[in-house]
Amino acid sequence: MQYKSQAVAKPYFIAAIGLFIGQILFGLIMGLQYVVGDFMFPAIPFNAARMVHTNLLIVWLLFGFMGAAYYLVPEESETELFSPKLAITMFWIFLVAGALTIVGYLAVPYATLAKITMNSLFPTMGREFLEQPTITKLGIVVVALAFLFNIGMTVLKGRKTAISLVLLLGLLGLAVFFLFSFYNPDNLVKDKYFWWWVVHLWVEGVWELILGAILAFVLIKITGVDREVVEKWLYVIITMTLITGIIGTGHHYYWIGTPGYWQVWGSIFSALEPIPFFMLTIFAFNMVNKRRREHPNKAATLWALGTGVMAFLGAGVWGFLHTLAPVNYYTHGTQLTAAHGHMAFYGAYVMVVLTIISYAMPVLRGRAANCEKAQVVEMWSFWLMTVSIVFITLFLTGAGILQTWLQRMGDHPMSFMDAQNAIAIFYWMREGSGLVFLIGLATYVTSFFIKGETKAI
């Protein structure tokens, strides 16, 4: 470790992995509820499990992004973090607030949670991904502000690099767009319109900047390729991201009551969104091929390359599948959406967080890379998790195509529930792949505890 304040990244990474395990357990519970409807009812109803699964995902990715920033910004800025103490305080606040919220989801019915947290004073609850009580949302804003202040001051007092500036811009955007979660108009069209300013402009906008910056940082470290080359790629990628992604929001405005021109604008611009994801893949492979050194951390290299490929497949290819208005007319809100959601979130954001953890954690533990054996186990976990998400995606895609056909096309469309019954076999297979995913995750965690000979830095 070059700067001792980088150590604050460690608890963030550990919390991220802990919450990741929780996320997957709740995914498995829901996956089973899909086929065994009253599994664990009434203790854990589907709607509660769904909030826990998706909210844990977002929260652990945020822990991962913050850990990544605390690790890489001091190194990029060539100075100690502005305030390690503030970083640790915020860690505990975020963890406790997050845990209490999850307990709230599980302990009481959602309506009761809204009442206890006095949602009626300032109503923001009840929308997918933004289910958190208003008080939790305020807590998130406080943590985000303190975090941005800490990172911003560090960048200001040190060397300014393209990587740290792009990262900072992405994190700033993340915080700014989250503010739209406080805007909750009664008009459902307006509500949905601005809801996407959080959800879409995050994953297909500002988060892509964070993704690009983290990947660029790890690639410089493991390949030793010139910073100038990496920076050029980064600039082109983020420019393409913003050009396509901002107006691309229109692919969510087809059927919510917004003007019809969105079907044209949304289709054209979102159809171009795969381009920056494709460039990310080319970028990662190009850098590794041109490498000037053989970094001992093979596992981190694998994660970095995997991120490029899987982000392109999940976001680019599976996004394109249903992004054109004439296609989306039939597929909107089907299992095809869930197929894409899983592979895109995994391929882009889960994998980039696991990439930086894979690179940084050994350094935080005082070695250049983990021992050979630990890396082999980690690479096994890479393949187990990645292949099972591919299968989850394929099974949900099969379910989605059949669902669209049975329920929305043909002369005698089935009801929603009849169509769901007809495709239950796909949900069983999804659950099977989910179990393999859990085994992969357990393998990943195991890799941290394997001891062997390592080179000190």
Please report, as ranges, the residues that interact with ligand HEM according to CB under 6 A. 24, 27-28, 30-31, 34, 50, 53-54, 57, 128, 203-204, 251-252, 270, 273-274, 311, 315-316, 319-320, 322-323, 328, 332-333, 337-338, 340-342, 344-346, 348, 350, 430-431, 434, 437
Q: Which is nearer to ligand HEM, 371 or 436 (CB)?
A: 436
Of ligand HEM, Fe ion, none, which one does residue 184 interact with (CB within 5 to 8 Å by kind)? Answer: none
Q: Of 204, 225, 205, 207, which is closest to residue 216 (Cα–Cα)?
A: 225
Q: Which is nearer to Fe ion, 39 or 278 (CB)?
A: 278
Q: Which amino acid is at 106?
A: L
Q: Which C-beta is closer to ligand HEM: that of 90 or that of 343?
A: 343
| Closer CB to ligand HEM, 158 or 398, in the complex | 398
Min CB(235)–Fe ion separation in Å? 23
Q: How many Å apart are CA 253 and CA 255, to the nearest integer?
A: 6
Q: Which does 222 bind (CB under 5 to 8 A by kind): Fe ion, ligand HEM, none?
A: none
Q: How far is the CB of 246 from Fe ion (least distance, A)?
A: 11
User: Which chain residues interact with Fe ion by CB under 5 A?
Assistant: 200, 204
With respect to Fe ion, which residue has the nearer C-beta, 244 or 381? Answer: 244
- Report angle CA 334, 103, 393 to the nearest 5 degrees: 25
Collapsing DSSP to helix, strand or coil, 452 comes out as: coil
Residue 123 binding target from ligand HEM, Fe ion, none, CB below 5 to 8 Å by type: none
- Least CB distance to Fe ion at residue 44 (A): 30
d(CA 24, CA 374): 23
Give the Cα separation of 73 and 159 in Å (integer). Answer: 10
136 is in the binding site of which of Fe ion, ligand HEM, none (Cβ under 5 to 8 A by kind)?
Answer: none
* Pick 147 or 346: Cβ nearer ligand HEM: 346
Q: Are 157 and 172 in contact (CB under 8 A)?
A: no
Helix axes 162-178, 134-157, angle to 10 degrees: 160
Name 367's bridge partners: 456
- Comparing CA positions, the residue from 270, 247, 250, 273 lying closest to residue 262 is 250
Q: Which residue, 134 or 263, has its beta carbon nearer to ligand HEM?
A: 263
Count Cβ atoms within 10 A of the Cβ of residue 1 and give its class: 0-12 exposed, 13-18 middle, 19 or more buried. middle
Name the binder of 446 from Fe ion, ligand HEM, none, CB < 5-8 A by kind: none
The one of ligand HEM, Fe ion, none whose footprint includes residue 333, by CB under 5 to 8 A per kind, is ligand HEM
Q: Helix count (H) and strand count (E) of the chain?
A: 19, 0
**In the bound complex, what is the minimum distance in angstroms from residue 384's beta carbon to ligand HEM?**
12
- Give the shortest CB-23-to-ligand HEM separation in angstroms: 7
Structure token pair of residue 164: 């740290």
- For the CB of residue 282, give the shortest distance to Fe ion in the complex, in Å: 22
Alpha helices in 249-369 (DSSP H): 262-271, 274-289, 298-311, 318-321, 325-331, 335-344, 351-364
- Residues 340 and 129: their CA atoms lie apart, in Å, by 16
Write down the least CB distance from residue 340 to ligand HEM, Å: 6
| Residue 298 contacts which entry, Fe ion, ligand HEM, none (Cβ below 5-8 A, type-dependent) | none
Q: Kindly give, in sequence order, each residue whose CB lies less than 8 Å from that of residue 265, ignoring residues fewer than 6 positions away.
A: 247, 250
Look at residue 158 and give the partner it binds from ligand HEM, Fe ion, none, a contact being a CB closer than 5 to 8 Å depending on partner kind.
none
Residue nearer to ligand HEM on the CB measure, 57 or 374: 57
